[in-house]
């Protein structure tokens, strides 16, 4: 039996039961692929159902507001995926009458759809023989063929993609791609692979040469950047209701278009009077009258992103109840419950949970 037959036989007997595998609807397959780009399967399934329930088809997704999409996406991270997915839905509805392109080269033009996602959709939904090469597939093929160049180099990825294109089963390309992904996820795992149950073990270079732990080779990791975020709740009590200002992140940075509390970013832990003046929601307002920067934050968290380590400090400043009227600002004043309905970084959700009693 050749590579493909052994793989497909193994897949038929062992495949994972995943909800999007019961569908050939390109919308469902696209949704699952975008969600799973940087997400574990268990968590992805929950979000897949959440999106399908709220937006069962592309028309519904395209008609939603970006704020609503970001709120549904909250907790998954890499929010550009959500923004791109929404933009792609609008394009398909506006320029293609809501019909998914059934061609790899058209699919790859959509925002958020790279070579892997375009190949996965083409092969699974339209039976087109395009090899979908993700981290799992790279690992299996690097080990099987003994590729010892760093797998995070573009050249190596290209080489592996060419090998996958040669191997792909022309009659069952979608099944072949999913089988290779499942083998990587379930058998040829990172760390210690389970070679003893692998259908490819007899011809595997890494297995034969005891290199399973050494391959795939990766370049040394670049150092994570430390960032220091000082968040403020500027709390005003109007009658019996507590409100505070929030703003939308507009710059091309992490968390674009999500809501946050007023923020000062500093180069270290310390916060000075001058830096405090940079809370740009209320320029010219003397915060130091109510608050000293040296006041200890009530909460602090460290939050890890792929290339950044965010050190977040949260402080609450209680302001006079006529404050909202005295300063012209773009600030949007919200209650605790209203803020819960906005899409925001997980880091801020964690703070909201902790500070619930102080802010409600």
Interacting residues with ligand SF4 (CB under 6 A): 140, 143-144, 187-188, 193, 195, 198, 200-201, 204, 206-207, 212
Nearer to ligand SF4, 126 or 144 (CB): 144
**What are the φ and ψ backbone dihedral angles of 193, each rounded to 5 degrees?**
-75, 155
Please, what is the minimum distance in Å from the beta carbon of residue 198 to ligand SF4?
3
Please, what is the minimum distance in Å from the beta carbon of residue 202 to ligand SF4?
8
Q: Residue 81 to residues 59, 62, 66, 129, 333: CA-CA distances in angstroms?
A: 18, 15, 12, 25, 28
Nearer to ligand SF4, 75 or 190 (CB): 190
From the candidates 13, 33, 166, 332, give the one annotated as an active-site residue: 33
Nearer to ligand SF4, 7 or 70 (CB): 7
Nearer to ligand SF4, 203 or 265 (CB): 203
Please, what is the minimum distance in Å from the beta carbon of residue 141 to ligand SF4?
8
What lies within 8 Å, CB to CB, of 344 at 6+ separation is 74, 258, 259, 260
Q: Angle at the Cα of 238 (from 236 to 243), degrees rounded to 5?
A: 45
Q: Is 265 a catalytic residue?
A: no
The first and second tokens of residue 280, run together, are 């740009």
Residue pair 245/262 in contact by the 8 Å Cβ criterion = yes
Please, what is the minimum distance in Å from the beta carbon of residue 196 to ligand SF4?
8
**What are the φ and ψ backbone dihedral angles of 236, each rounded to 5 degrees?**
-125, 135
Question: Beta partners for 260?
Answer: 247
Please, what is the minimum distance in Å from the beta carbon of residue 1 to ligand SF4?
15
Nearer to ligand SF4, 192 or 223 (CB): 192
> Taking the CB of residue 137, how many other CB atoms lie within 10 A of it?
22
SS3 330: coil
Distance CA 57, CA 116 (A): 22
Distance CA 78, CA 66 (A): 15
The catalytic site residues sit at: 33
């Amino acid at each position: 039996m050749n590579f493909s037959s052994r793989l497909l036989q193994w897949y038929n007997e062992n495949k994972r039961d995943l909800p999007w595998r019961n569908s050939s609807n390109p919308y469902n397959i696209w949704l699952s692929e975008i969600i799973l780009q940087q997400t574990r399967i268990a968590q992805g399934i929950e979000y897949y159902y959440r999106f399908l329930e709220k937006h069962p088809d592309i028309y519904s997704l395209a008609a939603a507001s970006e704020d609503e999409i970001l709120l549904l996406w909250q907790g998954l991270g890499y929010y550009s995926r959500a923004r791109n997915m929404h933009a792609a839905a609008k394009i398909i509805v506006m320029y293609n009458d809501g019909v998914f392109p059934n061609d790899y080269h058209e699919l790859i033009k959509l925002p958020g759809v790279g070579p892997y996602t375009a190949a996965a959709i083409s092969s699974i939904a339209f039976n087109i023989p395009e090899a979908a090469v993700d981290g799992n597939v790279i690992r299996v093929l690097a080990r099987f063929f003994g590729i010892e160049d760093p797998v995070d180099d573009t050249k190596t990825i290209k080489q592996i993609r060419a090998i996958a294109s040669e191997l792909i089963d022309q009659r069952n390309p979608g099944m072949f791609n999913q089988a290779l992904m499942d083998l990587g996820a379930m058998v040829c795992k990172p760390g210690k692979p389970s070679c003893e149950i692998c259908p490819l073990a007899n011809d595997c270079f890494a297995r034969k040469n005891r290199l399973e732990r050494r391959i795939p080779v990766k370049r040394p990791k670049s150092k994570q950047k430390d960032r220091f975020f000082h968040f403020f709740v500027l709390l005003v009590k109007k009658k019996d209701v507590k409100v505070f200002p929030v703003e939308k992140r507009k710059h091309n940075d992490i968390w674009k278009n999500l809501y946050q509390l007023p923020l000062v970013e500093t180069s270290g832990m310390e916060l000075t009077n001058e830096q405090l003046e940079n809370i740009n929601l209320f320029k010219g307002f003397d915060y130091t009258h109510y608050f000293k920067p040296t006041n200890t934050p009530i909460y602090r968290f460290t939050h890890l992103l792929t290339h950044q380590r965010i050190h977040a400090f949260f402080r609450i400043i209680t302001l006079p109840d006529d404050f909202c009227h005295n300063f012209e600002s773009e600030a949007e004043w919200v209650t605790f419950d209203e803020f819960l309905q906005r899409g925001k970084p997980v880091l801020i959700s964690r703070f909201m949970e902790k500070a619930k009693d102080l802010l409600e």
